[in-house]
Amino acid sequence: ASVVAQPFRDEIKAKVAAMKKEGVEPPLLVGLLANKDPAAIKYAEWTGRACRNDGLRYELRIIDDPINVESALMDANDDPRVHGIIVYYPIFGQQESFSGTSQDDYLRDTVSHKCDVEGLCHTYRTNLYRNVRYLDYPINEQKCLLPCTALSCVKILE
């Protein structure tokens, strides 16, 4: 790991070890892969490797027919064992959708904000646009997960 990432990874490992000591399973990240794109496949492999190296659970769910991604996504959203979801795009590419610009956009917005580990769902993108940093205003204890590249642009402009 890089010098920058190592302290964060060490913190994750320590928290996972403490959870295991208390008899609590580590968080589960579910990856949904419904394409043969080599970059997406490699990204899924690296995600799994990083999770396992840090003691997190990772489950790659391969979906043979892209039409079944929405159902698999809803199942993962509703599964109390799932703490995070990552969808490996492109699935439909720029194929038009009844909701949004493309079917991939629709799927991105279908990921629950409670499970979105990339910060790309509608809730987080809207909060980024509105400069909202917490999900539980005015208590301000639950931070939004904002897409890092877009957030860095906002920070530079500020």
**Residues marked as catalytic:** 148
Alpha carbon of 8 to those of 4, 72, 146: distances in Å?
8, 30, 17
Alpha carbon of 118 to those of 15, 30, 65, 122: distances in Å?
21, 12, 23, 12
Secondary structure in 3-state letters for 78-101 = HCCCCCEEEEECCCCCCCCCCCCC
Alpha carbon of 84 to those of 25, 27, 109, 114: distances in Å?
14, 8, 14, 8
Alpha carbon of 17 to those of 83, 93, 117, 126: distances in Å?
17, 40, 21, 35
